[in-house]
Amino acid sequence: MTAFSTLNSLPAAQIENLNELGYLTMTPVQAAALPAILAGKDVRVQAKTGSGKTAAFGLGLLQHIDASRFQTQSLVLCPTRELADQVANELRRLARFMPNIKVLTICGGQPFGAQRDSLQHAPHIIVATPGRLLDHLQKTTVTLENLQTLVMDEADRMLDMGFSDAIDEIIRFAPATRQTLLFSATWPEAIAAISGRVQRNPETIEIDTVD
């Protein structure tokens, strides 16, 4: 059991926030992945549901956010609206000590016009399902040109839902110099292939892979 305070690059205010959330020690996935993630490396993680993957990427992407720049600096892709809402809520909890961080979910099945209006003030973090986000990119109602961190959460489920092409298209709108983090409960060949297309020298972490 390792305390979050052993991670030197986490600010003291974040350690305090984590303690308030009841996060006293890192889960095995967090202990294995956070050193590489906080060092800015590309990381691919295979770990089962409930292992604390959201905080693993959330603590990583938050450290790259400059709240004074009103630009989208992080993007998290999720397979469903339900998961996107869960991730967005967890990111808001992790960012409680950072004033004015804006997290926006962009998912299908919701009115496009209202999303376009919300996007006029660029959120620091977008949590999205791939199809609708691609729609906004193609209509230039969103830009990823200032993106620092791209996360693919539940990548195997996104591929199962047929989002592979949309993800490849989205990547074309993102800068080449970015950190890309990939999370999946299972590791079929298609996941290895997408990692090869979108990540650079990724560190591989496998924890508790029996789902």
Contact residues toward Mg ion (CB under 5 A) are: 53
Interface with ligand ADP (CB under 6 A), residue from 8, 49, 140, 177: 49
Closer Cβ to ligand ADP, 26 or 104, answer by number: 26
Residue 26 binding: pick among Mg ion, ligand ADP, none (C-beta 5-8 Å cut-off by kind): ligand ADP
Residue 101 binding: pick among Mg ion, ligand ADP, none (C-beta 5-8 Å cut-off by kind): none
Closer Cβ to ligand ADP, 19 or 110, answer by number: 19
Distance between CA atoms of residues 154 and 182, nearest Å = 8
Distance between CA atoms of residues 144 and 71, nearest Å = 9
Closer Cβ to ligand ADP, 88 or 144, answer by number: 88
Long-range contacts: 46-50, Cβ < 8 Å, 24+? 46/184, 46/185, 46/186, 46/187, 46/204, 46/205, 46/206, 46/207, 46/209, 47/183, 47/185, 47/205, 47/206, 47/207, 47/208, 47/209, 48/185, 48/208, 48/209, 48/210, 48/211, 49/185, 49/211
When asked if residue 50 is in the footprint of ligand ADP (CB under 6 A), the reply is yes
DSSP characters over 39-68: TT--EEEEE-TTS-HHHHHHHHHHHT--TT
Fill in the amino acid letter for 58. Answer: G
Each residue 29-48 as x (binds ligand ADP by CB under 6 A) or -, in order, gives -x------------------
Closer Cβ to ligand ADP, 103 or 137, answer by number: 103
Residue 52 binding: pick among ligand ADP, Mg ion, none (C-beta 5-8 Å cut-off by kind): ligand ADP
Interface with ligand ADP (CB under 6 A), residue from 7, 14, 17, 26: 26
Tell me the closest approach of the beta carbon of residue 178 to Mg ion, in angstroms.
21
Q: Which residue is nearest to Mg ion (CB)?
A: 53
Nearest Cα residue to 97 out of 23, 181, 200:
23
The pair phi, psi for residue 179, each rounded to 5°, is -95, 135
When asked if residue 54 is in the footprint of ligand ADP (CB under 6 A), the reply is yes
When asked if residue 55 is in the footprint of ligand ADP (CB under 6 A), the reply is yes
- What residues line the site for ligand ADP (CB under 6 A)? 22-23, 26-27, 30, 49-55
